[in-house]
Structure 1
Amino acid sequence: MDLALIALVGALVTAVCQSVTDLGTKAATRAADDRAIFAIEWTICALLLILACAVVYPGILRAPIETVNALTQPGFWTLLACNGALNVVAYALYIRAFRLSDASLVAPLVLLTPVLMLVTSPIMTGEHVPAMGMVGVILTVLGVGLLDANRANGKRFNFAVFVRNPGPRYMIATAMIWSLCANLDKLGVRASTPLIWIAFLSAFIAACAIVYWLAGGRPKAQRKALRPALLAGSAMSFGNALQMWALTVLFTPYVIAIKRLSALFTVVASGRVLKEDTGGRFLGAAVMLAGAVMIVLTRE
């Protein structure tokens, strides 16, 4: 089978993994504390990725310092610390968003990240978007308005939910931070390798999450309630590893565009798995996805 085709399938599986992470996080918030969810998801993610590093780079076990120094470039640790700190804040907001609102409402808002990168990318990585990308911005904004259409009065575009509901506001803040993190990820991969970068970044976030959990008095939760968090963390590690590998085979925008399908998967699955009233949110998510893909594919 052609390697590019395998990579396309891998990118699609990445989207499924992101959707599983969304659904698992939302399910966990129904019975577990935010801090516990944060610590469990990222700890299992980091452990699995570190194990993958040990398999791909056996030298890490024999001579860890020398091997890591050989695989990284100057600036790696600074990028790791900056991106890790931002991701800690972003993921705390991400979990909070799922606690306060339906997954089908907040998950598609991550699609605002490409819009925000129109501002952050030129500054951080020197990438610009042609005029056609602005059409994608318009579609994305229209899709946001469609996410919570008021069916009672027939109003199709409804932005009032972002005023009265804190969940979407938390996710928008997450998207803003991730628009910075996405650029730092690119710089981090350049300063190391895809697997080394994502494994060390995950380990950094996991360590911070554990400290955050311990500082909160380690609130208890039923083991059954934490199973979705374990599933979410496992899916996150597998999806991240697949994404990094796919980036070495395919043009980066293609991988990102396919990964954005997770928003549609989450909207559809949240109605069936979480029994949410998704209403017309699939249309809003689809319009946002079209806009996000247009922005991604027109980046220079």
Structure 2
Amino acid sequence: MDFALLALIAALFTAVCQSVTDLGTKAATRMADDRAILAAQWSGGAVLLALACCAAYPGFLTAPVATMDSLTRPGFWSYLGWSGALNVTAYFFYIRGFRLSDASLVAPLVLLTPVLMLVTSPIMTGEQAPPMGVVGVLLTVLGVGLLDANRENGRRFSFAVFARDAGARYMIATAAIWSLTANIDKLGVKASTPLIWIAALTIAIALCSLLYWAFGARNVPRLSALRYALLAGSAMSIGNTAQMWALTILFTPYVIAIKRLSALFTVLASSHVLKEETGGRLLGAAVMLAGAVMIAVARG
């Protein structure tokens, strides 16, 4: 089995983990406030990844500074600072989007990320997509316009619902920020290793999230109220680790586009898990799947 195929499998696994994160986040918004969810998600993931780093690199237990220096290269800390700051903002918007709207409506909007990366990737990482890859990425986004198809109002193709819906606007902002951070991830992985990068980034975001929670007006939630947030954070950290490795093999927009198949999985699962009305959103999800298949074919 070649590394490209393994990377595709890793990207698909990332999509499954992201769908679990989506569903867990939506469930968490019914039990806790946004600040607590943000802190719990990232803190849970930080603990898991810190343990993984200690297992993979035992030097962290005896000489953490020297070990970190040996595993990082110039630019690492700068990339970490930028990605940490942008991701804290993005994930606050992400949680807010799920609080204000159905998961089956807002989750597919992250498919705007690979389209925006057609602009950001050439600038930030020098990567250019071949024609079939471009068509595949654009096709995944066309599915967004079909998410409201065949509903009672008779609408066949429209983006108007996203302009009116507050949760959708938050998720569009999230997608825009992620089109930048995905490229920074590529650079960060090159300046370290996939595990070191995602662990350092997760810990940085967790610390910022805890400070954001500690200095704001808050109620201390019970642990039981955060169980879905902790589940979402664990799935996110595991999926992100697989994503960072896939980025070392595949073209960045391809990895992100395949990851965004999570939108399909979330739409399919939300009617059963969250008891949401999905309606014609499955048609849009099917178009997104077609786009992802084109992306996979174009990898060669």
Instruction: Report the TM-score, using the length of structure 2 for normalisation.
Output: 0.91
Asked if 1:129 is matched to 2:129, the reply is yes
Number of residue pairs matched?
300
Displacement of 1:8 in angstroms is 5.2
Paired AA for residue 213 in structure 1: W
Alignment match, 1:166: 166
TM-superposition CA deviations, 1:247-266 (whole Å, max 9, x none): 55677666545433211111
Change over 3 Å in CA distance of 1:217–1:162 after alignment to 2: same
1:46 and 1:203 in contact (8 A); partners too: yes
Instruction: Report the TM-score, using the length of structure 1 for normalisation.
Output: 0.91
Paired AA for residue 41 in structure 1: Q
Alignment match, 1:265: 265
2:116 and 2:179 in contact (8 A); partners too: yes
Alignment match, 1:206: 206
TM-superposition CA deviations, 1:173-222 (whole Å, max 9, x none): 10000000010000000111110000000000000000010111332334
Asked if 1:101 is matched to 2:101, the reply is yes
Change over 3 Å in CA distance of 1:10–1:144 after alignment to 2: closer
Paired AA for residue 42 in structure 2: W
TM-superposition CA deviations, 1:137-178 (whole Å, max 9, x none): 542342121112362231211222122211111111100000
Alignment match, 2:47: 47
Q: Following superposition of structure 1 onto structure 2, how do residues 1-300 of structure 1 map, counting pairs within 5 Å?
A: 9-136=9-136, 138-149=138-149, 151-247=151-247, 255-291=255-291, 294=294, 298=298
2:127 and 2:251 in contact (8 A); partners too: no
Which ranges of structure 2 fall in alignment gaps of 5 or more residues? Answer: none
1:53 and 1:195 in contact (8 A); partners too: yes
2:54 and 2:61 in contact (8 A); partners too: yes
Paired AA for residue 157 in structure 2: F
Comparing 85-94 with 220-229, greater Cα deviation is found at 220-229
Q: Distance in 2 between matches of 1:178 and 1:60?
A: 30
Q: Distance in 1 between matches of 2:2 and 2:295?
A: 28
Q: Distance in 1 between matches of 2:4 and 2:137?
A: 29
Query: The residue matched to 1:217 in structure 2 has which SS?
Result: coil
Which ranges of structure 1 fall in alignment gaps of 5 or more residues? Answer: none
2:149 and 2:283 in contact (8 A); partners too: no
Q: Distance in 1 between matches of 2:85 and 2:70?
A: 25
Comparing 135-144 with 209-218, greater Cα deviation is found at 135-144
1:23 and 1:103 in contact (8 A); partners too: yes
Q: Distance in 2 between matches of 1:271 and 1:13?
A: 21
Change over 3 Å in CA distance of 1:280–1:85 after alignment to 2: same
Q: Distance in 2 between matches of 1:253 and 1:137?
A: 8
Paired AA for residue 171 in structure 2: M
Change over 3 Å in CA distance of 1:87–1:25 after alignment to 2: same
Change over 3 Å in CA distance of 1:159–1:110 after alignment to 2: same
Paired AA for residue 86 in structure 1: L
1:256 and 1:296 in contact (8 A); partners too: no
**Percentage of pairs with the same residue:** 73
